[in-house]
Structure 1
Amino acid sequence: MKYKKMLVSSLFIAAALLTACSSGNGGDEKADKDKVTTLTFFNADLAEDDKFENPVAKEITKQTGVKLEISHPVGGDTQAVPLMIASGDYPDIIFGKGDLGKLIDAGAVVALDDMIEEKGDNLKKMYGENLSRLKNSLSDPQIYHVGTAGVENVTNVTSGTFQIQLDVLKELGYPEINTLEEFEQALKDYKEKYPEIDGQETLGLSLLGSDWRWLITVGNPSGFAAGYQDDGQWIVDDKTGETIYKFQDEKVKEYFKWLNKINDEGLIDPESFTQKYDTYIAKLSSGRVLSVADQDWDISDAVASLKGEGKDWRTYAPLPVTLNSDILSPSTRNYGFTGTTGVSISSTTKHQDRAFEFLDWMASEEAQILLNWGLEGINYEIKDGKRVATDLDQAQTDPQYTLKTGVGQYVWPFPQLGNGAVDSTGNPISRSASRELIVDSYTDAEKEVLSNYDKELWVDFFPNPEDSEIPSHGRAYEIAIPSSSDLSVLQQRADDYVTQAITDIILAKPSEFDTKWKAMQTKLEEMDIEKANKEMTGLVQDRIELWSNK
């Protein structure tokens, strides 16, 4: 049954992609008449339809003469890019994310080096010496994409951390919470005091383990709790490049042992591994979920709903929670520029020059201000020479703000100056660039909690990013895996397996934990995980060497 559903989903995507590509050609005929070129664009990270008709999108078209016709995966399906490759029919521009290597090997995207050199003034200015970090590999040192990460970054916000309700902190007298044990105790104390919230059962920690978000609410937090930076499914020794599959690590094991324990104690939402995304967001929006371990962008709709209903104290505080006090949270680590995935131009497009000119314009200062701030007089104004947002209330309380206005909608996955960059007038490119701007966006509840901890920003709870070295390999999950390698298949099999195995381990009786964990390790060895480790180590070491050659 699962296979049939995947097949139907895949066929649906294939049809959608063919329609998108063919409609792009039809749009070109119309473009000649209207002097607007329609470029078809596949965005692997987009989860909802975007008609490219919001105010920012219209301004982009006005400035560039380009309208994007955007397609995206349906229901989190991962077969969209492989289906493109199988059909040989591609949109004009593609964000293939982790499948970039497959697109390169299939000859589906063009090398951009010559175009960047000849007419990529904005891109050259944006990236500077970081252009070398866009190169594909040691054996093929060409540039096939631009984006996605910012070039100049400051860490004034966190994401993907353990988060707990503001009311929990207030009610418990603002306790120090830095370890899993302290986090657990806070949940127990508050839940015991308030077994219900607004007439519904209080839930300690809710996860979303029924779809791909298992990776960000179950898998990734295990590495963060153990103090490992975000390398996806890998743990990397940045000095040697030695890499292992994350779920073989002993400290990661300790995190899941903790989840197993608190599940047995009734602190984990019993629907965590069966609920759908809408149900998860609805629970968070109700205010009865005390904590999450998730990315901010994944719960943003719930947070906006809570604020819109005046439930500011039910929103969340990010905390640097780790296994023990000897481990530092990696959430504020400065990775440097790691734009090793991004937007590419297809080899079949009839508008190669137009597509490149569009991408180069997206790297301009004018575009970066528009993408990050929106329209002057509508989304921001200039006061005493400073750019000031005028729509903060809408931005904080409307879950559809980004899609409706376009503000922030097209920053990712296109070229980004980064939230640490300033424009030619000295104003920040990003709304999250300065501490002052972030403080202005906080609710009174957030400010009260921070004041009681003698902090100004949430990031002040975390290690100073200047105290850690920039990793020489960037982030392992961004490395394009060659199609000639067995690594993609090996990792996918392992990921599919551990998703189910670890779910079973978390839900098991504590007395069964060690036996089940050992059985999982044996199975991973049988699945040739050591071969995957060896191949990933080679790719990481190649990356380190490639980036060291400016």
Structure 2
Amino acid sequence: MSGRKPVVVLMCIVALLLQLGCSNSLDNAAIEQADAYYNSDADYTEFSLFVMDSNQEPIDLSTTAVGRKVSELTGVKLKTEYISGSDERTKASFMVATKDYPDLIAPHNEYATFRAADALVPLDDYIDKYGQNIKRIYSEQELNMLRDPVDGHIYYLTPYRKNSRLLYPSSGFYLPIAVLRGLGWPKITSFDQYFEIIKNYVRANPVYNSEPTIGFTALTDNWRIYTLFNAPNYLAGNPNTGGVWVDENYEAHSFMLSDWAYKYYKKLNEFWNEGLLDKDMFTQNYDAYKAKIASGRVIGFYDERWQIEDAIDVLEKQSVFDRVPIAMPVVFDGVDNEAYNGISVMGTGAGVCITRNCKDPETAFKFIDKMASEEVLKVVYWGFEGVDYTVQNGKFNLTEGQLRRINDPDYVHKRGLGSFWLFPHPDGGAKFSDGNYVFPQDTVEYMDYKYKDYEKEVLEAYKLTSMADLMAPPLETPYGFVWDIPIPDSEPEIKAANQKASDIARKYIARLIMSTPEQYDLLWQEYANKMKDAGYNMADEFLTEEIRRRIAERNK
């Protein structure tokens, strides 16, 4: 297809948009024209990609406008499949047993499973020969951090880069705006105060929209129960480092039997017996949990922001702004620090890997490297000039209409904006060689637009410029996240102990919370004995070694 005529048409559309103020009808015309132009049926190399991450909303990467342009720029078309359900372990084990691998795989939590099965292609030589874009955005030190601890090879380029400036706290103990406004906008930091506020509010407001007000709930569906397991560690002032906390000597310690855990579940037990805890907490699935938050009748819960964004979107679309939850940096009394904004370092979680079944791994790697090029990154994250952004004097800008659209999840999904994030990309806040930000979210226009009027009320009340400023700044650790350290198959006893301890915790924490007050201490002792018998902290020594290895690699 000749590019001359469509480009002229696009230029005319852009001129009309500028003349007529970007009306919705002209916006739609520009989008449709861009879609038509980039709907190419060229003969591309096709690779299959399987995404193991059950968090990801399925999207056919090659059929969106962004995806089609990526194919045009790279010469590669992806045939993408996503895991069905949330049992990543079972799916990975089946793939390994049958050796039915796609060309490319994003293994998520099952990297160690595929690595142990020798299912993945080392990338070291390809990076040296063809990785010019990868070496531009990953330093030698960062590449060393991605080396497999067993054989020292690199099998993926992690997509878990340093964050952009945070718009919202990464996690926290939430309360609705209505509650905070009614109390005069206090910053809640005390564990006891937080739960007392909930108790008092529910007593004064037992019904919301003809349904019982829920004092506190928690997410317990499948692997997402980690939020219930991890909350005590946050209350003790620690960041999310998986199932352990790390001391000043870089030694890992499981906190599952800590005094923090005892105290937190004891409080939830108190709430259960007073009728303030969600009675469906241990039986509802993730969708039901989000629906309850979206109903506006839940007062308190702990979670990470990304898991509740769908519920917040529902509340916003219904204009029920006073029930939108706001995160608070709650800690136990006597704790002086908190880490709810998490850790801001490059993680080492798995990105896209090439499998042994790929017939042309060299071309596959060249495609992965091309995904890290500036011309592809501009399309992936910005979209199309004149449609998704404008350029004035070389600077990328976002009109009000464009800002509105990139904040619309349906539009972003349909267009495919940002949908290739599993592939290599720079840190948040990075800039292209022309001085423009890699990510629109880092621009001043985006930051100013993102907050809605009800959020601006919160910002003004707390004298903040960012909602994330309710919490301490993100931490930088010399060892990364820790939660992304996989236990290899070469450590079967640790893996077995971890699984057994997780099963025991899931069962007993529910029993502890739902027990009578008189039963709590006896059940806790029973729980502790079973966890110790299972070797609940067997991974501590291994994780300590890995933490110290990471520090040594980073310091090379």
The letter of the residue matching 1:326 is V
374 and 533 in structure 1: CA distance in 2 versus 1, 3 angstrom threshold: same
**Residue in 1 aligned with 2:84?**
74
Equivalent positions of 1:149-164 (< 5 A) are 149-151=160-162, 153-164=164-175
**Residue in 2 aligned with 1:135?**
147
Shift of 1:478: 0.9
Shift of 1:306: 1.4
CA distance in 2, matches of 1:510, 1:427: 59
**Residue in 2 aligned with 1:13?**
none
Would you say the 8 A contact 1:439–1:456 is kept in 2?
A: no
Structure 1's unaligned 5+ residue stretches are: 1-32
Question: CA offsets per residue over residues 5-40 of structure 1, 9 Å max, x none?
Answer: xxxxxxxxxxxxxxxxxxxxxxxxxxxx94122211
339 and 508 in structure 1: CA distance in 2 versus 1, 3 angstrom threshold: same
**Residue in 1 aligned with 2:481?**
475
Q: Considering only CA atoms, is the larger Rg found in Structure 1 or Structure 2?
A: 2
2:243 counterpart of 1:233: yes
**Residue in 1 aligned with 2:102?**
91
Equivalent positions of 1:405-444 (< 5 A) are 405-411=415-421, 413-433=422-442, 437-444=446-453
311 and 405 in structure 1: CA distance in 2 versus 1, 3 angstrom threshold: farther
Equivalent positions of 1:105-504 (< 5 A) are 105-129=116-140, 130-137=142-149, 139-151=150-162, 153-216=164-227, 218-237=228-247, 239-324=248-333, 326-382=335-391, 385-388=395-398, 390-396=401-407, 398=408, 400-411=410-421, 413-433=422-442, 437-465=446-474, 468=475, 470-486=476-492, 487-504=494-511
175 and 367 in structure 1: CA distance in 2 versus 1, 3 angstrom threshold: same
2:47 counterpart of 1:36: no
Q: CA RMSD in A?
A: 2.3
> Which stretch of the first structure deviates more once superposed, 432-441 or 51-60?
432-441
Shift of 1:125: 0.2
2:515 counterpart of 1:546: no
CA distance in 2, matches of 1:356, 1:135: 17
3-state SS, counterpart of residue 483 of structure 2:
helix
3-state SS, counterpart of residue 476 of structure 1:
coil
Would you say the 8 A contact 2:216–2:276 is kept in 1?
A: yes
Shift of 1:114: 0.9
3-state SS, counterpart of residue 223 of structure 2:
coil
Structure 2's unaligned 5+ residue stretches are: 1-40
The letter of the residue matching 1:243 is A
500 and 382 in structure 1: CA distance in 2 versus 1, 3 angstrom threshold: farther
**Residue in 2 aligned with 1:21?**
none
Shift of 1:436: 5.7
Question: CA offsets per residue over residues 340-394 of structure 1, 9 Å max, x none?
Answer: 4222111120131222122112212233333333333333333562432644445
Would you say the 8 A contact 1:419–1:431 is kept in 2?
A: no
3-state SS, counterpart of residue 506 of structure 2:
helix
CA distance in 2, matches of 1:265, 1:327: 30
CA distance in 1, matches of 2:450, 2:95: 42
> Which stretch of the first structure deviates more once superposed, 444-453 or 375-384?
375-384
Would you say the 8 A contact 2:171–2:341 is kept in 1?
A: no
329 and 408 in structure 1: CA distance in 2 versus 1, 3 angstrom threshold: farther
**Residue in 2 aligned with 1:20?**
none
TM-score scaled by length of structure 2: 0.86
TM-score scaled by length of structure 1: 0.86
Would you say the 8 A contact 2:215–2:278 is kept in 1?
A: yes
402 and 226 in structure 1: CA distance in 2 versus 1, 3 angstrom threshold: farther
3-state SS, counterpart of residue 38 of structure 1:
strand
The letter of the residue matching 2:82 is H
2:69 counterpart of 1:59: yes
CA distance in 1, matches of 2:380, 2:333: 41
3-state SS, counterpart of residue 213 of structure 1:
helix
The letter of the residue matching 2:529 is T
Would you say the 8 A contact 1:306–1:312 is kept in 2?
A: yes
Shift of 1:121: 0.7
**Residue in 2 aligned with 1:24?**
none
| Identical columns (%) | 29
3-state SS, counterpart of residue 41 of structure 1:
strand
224 and 436 in structure 1: CA distance in 2 versus 1, 3 angstrom threshold: farther
Shift of 1:460: 1.2
